[in-house]
C-alpha cells in the first residue's frame, strides 16, 4: 500500500500540472502566440540547463556506455519500424507513414522524462536519461527527414538533406548543453557559484513550465475526429516500445537495474509534442499528430503507472537472464 501511495504522490503532480495547463487554456482567453516566449524559455534556457546539470554531474565513464546506447537506440528504431510497417499495411501514404512511425517511437523524453525519472530513481538515473535523450533525438531527427526525402516531400538533394539534419542536430540547444556537460564532466569543471545558482534556478523551472505548456498546447489543439490508426500507434508507443526495450536490454545483459528501469519508463512516456511540430512542418497528418499526443498523454496515466508497478514489484524483472 505504501508503494502505491508513494507512486501516486510521484505521478500526480506531473499529470496534475498538465491538467492545470489544459484547464487554463480552456478558461483563459489568451492567444496561442502567447506560448512562444514560454517555448523559448524552455527550449533555450530551462531544459538545456537541466541537461547540463545532469551530464556534468555524471562521471565520464558512465556516459561512454556504448552497449546501453546501442540497445536503447535499437529499441527505438524497432518501435519506429513496427509503426512504419503497420502504417503501410493499413494503407497510409508514405509521408503519413513516416510521421506515424515518429508517433509510435518518439516519447516525451525532453519535457516529462528527466524530472519524472529523477524523481522516481534519483540522481543515479541521470546518465541513462541523458544518453537516451541525445541518441533517440539524433536517430529520429535523422531518420525523419531522410525518409521524407525518399517519399518526395523534401525537395532537396540527399547531400543538402544530410547537411541540414546535421546542422539541426548539432545546433539543438539540448545537444549543445549535453556536449558542454560532457566537457565539464571530463575535465571536472564547475561553474562559479553565482552562475551555478542561476543554472539551478533555470533547471528547477523546467519541469513545471514544460508540463504546463504541454497541457496548454494539447488543449488548444482540439481533436475533431479520431483517425483509426491513432489506436495502434499509441499502443505501440505506450506498450510495445517499453516491452521492446526491456527485451533488448535483458538480452544484452549486465546493466544496472536503475538504468534498465529508467529506459523502460522513458520508453513508456507518451508521444512528444515534436510530432505535432513535424506534422505542421511537412503539412502532413496534423490532426493525427494532435490526436496521438492527446490520447497518448491521457492513456499514459494508466500505462506508465502500470509499467512502474511491474518493475517495482518484480513482475517485470530488471535483469531476468542473469
In this prediction, what percent of the chain has a pLDDT beyond 90?
33
Q: What is the pLDDT of residues 205-255, one digit of tens each?
A: 888 888 888 888 878 876 677 788 999 999 999 999 999 999 999 999 889
Task: Tell me how far apart the alpha carbons of residues 306 and 302 are, in angstroms, rounded to a whole number.
Answer: 6
Residue 318 lies inside a defined structural domain of this protein: no
**How would you class 315 by CB atoms within 10 Å of its CB: exposed for 0-12, middle for 13-18, buried for 19 or more?**
exposed
pTM attached to this predicted model: 0.85
Asked if pLDDT for residue 174 goes beyond 80, the answer is no
Tell me what pLDDT residue 321 has. Answer: 62
Dump pLDDT digits (tens) for 3-47.
677 777 878 888 899 899 989 988 988 887 778 888 889 888 998
319 found inside a domain: no
Residue 32 lies in a domain: yes
Q: Is the pLDDT of residue 1 over 60?
A: no
Q: How far apart are CA 41 and CA 272, in angstroms?
A: 18
Least confident stretch, 17-26, 96-105, 189-198, 223-232: 223-232
- Residue 322 inside a domain? The answer is no
Reading phi first (left if > 0) and then psi (alpha if -120 to 50, else beta), residue 285 is in left
What's the CATH code of the domain at 10?
A: 1.20.1530.20
Read off the pLDDT of residues 294-303 as tens digits, 9 standing for 90 and up: 899 889 989 9
d(CA 185, CA 57): 6
Cα 75 from Cα 245, distance rounded (Å): 5
Looking at residue 254, its pLDDT comes to 86
Q: In this predicted structure, what is the pLDDT of residue 280?
A: 79
Considering the domain boundaries, does residue 320 fall inside one?
no
Q: How do residues 120-166 score in pLDDT, each as one tens digit?
A: 888 888 889 888 988 888 888 788 877 887 766 666 666 676 777 67
* pLDDT at 146 (0 to 100): 77
Instruction: Report the chain's mean pLDDT, rounded to a whole number.
Output: 86
Residue 80 — pLDDT band, cuts 50, 70, 90? very high
Number of domains the chain contains = 1
- What ranges in 188-228 are assigned the alpha helix state H? 193-219
* Residue 306 falls inside a structural domain: yes
* pLDDT in the model for residue 322: 56
Compute the average pLDDT of residues 86-90: 90
Whether 156 is in a domain gets the answer yes
Q: Is residue 321 in some structural domain?
A: no
Three-class DSSP labels, 289-312: HHHHHHHHHHHHHHHHHHHHHHHH
Range of the domain at 300: 2-313
Amino acid at each position: 500500500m505504501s508503494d502505491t501511495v508513494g507512486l501516486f504522490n510521484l505521478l500526480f503532480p506531473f499529470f496534475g500540472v498538465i491538467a492545470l495547463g489544459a484547464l487554463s487554456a480552456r478558461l483563459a482567453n489568451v492567444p496561442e502566440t502567447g506560448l512562444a516566449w514560454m517555448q523559448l524559455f524552455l527550449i533555450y534556457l530551462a531544459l538545456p540547463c537541466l541537461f547540463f546539470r545532469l551530464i556534468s554531474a555524471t562521471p565520464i565513464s558512465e556516459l561512454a556506455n556504448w552497449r546501453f546506447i546501442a540497445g536503447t537506440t535499437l529499441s527505438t528504431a524497432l518501435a519506429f519500424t513496427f509503426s512504419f510497417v503497420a502504417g503501410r499495411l493499413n494503407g497510409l501514404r508514405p509521408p503519413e507513414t513516416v510521421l506515424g512511425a515518429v508517433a509510435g517511437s518518439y516519447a516525451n523524453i525532453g519535457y516529462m522524462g528527466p524530472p519524472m525519472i529523477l524523481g522516481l530513481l534519483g540522481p543515479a538515473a541521470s546518465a541513462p536519461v541523458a544518453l537516451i535523450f541525445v541518441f533517440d533525438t539524433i536517430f529520429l531527427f535523422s531518420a525523419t527527414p531522410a525518409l521524407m526525402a525518399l517519399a518526395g516531400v523534401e525537395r532537396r538533394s540527399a547531400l543538402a538533406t544530410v547537411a541540414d539534419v546535421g546542422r539541426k542536430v548539432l545546433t539543438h540547444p539540448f545537444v549543445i548543453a549535453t556536449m558542454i556537460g560532457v566537457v565539464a564532466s571530463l575535465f571536472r569543471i564547475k561553474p562559479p557559484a553565482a552562475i551555478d545558482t542561476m543554472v539551478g534556478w533555470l533547471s528547477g523551472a523546467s519541469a513545471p513550465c514544460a508540463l504546463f505548456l504541454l497541457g496548454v498546447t494539447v488543449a488548444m489543439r482540439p481533436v475533431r475526429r479520431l483517425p483509426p490508426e491513432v489506436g495502434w500507434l499509441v499502443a505501440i508507443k505506450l506498450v510495445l516500445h517499453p516491452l521492446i526495450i526491456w527485451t533488448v536490454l535483458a538480452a544484452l545483459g549486465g546493466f544496472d537495474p536503475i538504468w534498465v528501469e529508467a529506459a523502460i519508463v522513458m520508453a513508456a512516456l507518451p508521444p512528444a509534442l515534436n510530432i505535432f511540430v513535424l506534422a505542421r512542418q511537412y503539412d502532413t497528418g496534423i490532426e493525427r499528430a494532435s490526436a496521438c499526443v492527446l490520447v497518448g498523454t491521457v492513456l499514459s496515466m494508466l500505462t506508465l503507472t502500470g509499467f512502474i508497478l511491474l518493475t517495482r514489484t518484480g513482475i517485470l524483472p530488471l535483469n531476468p537472464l542473469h
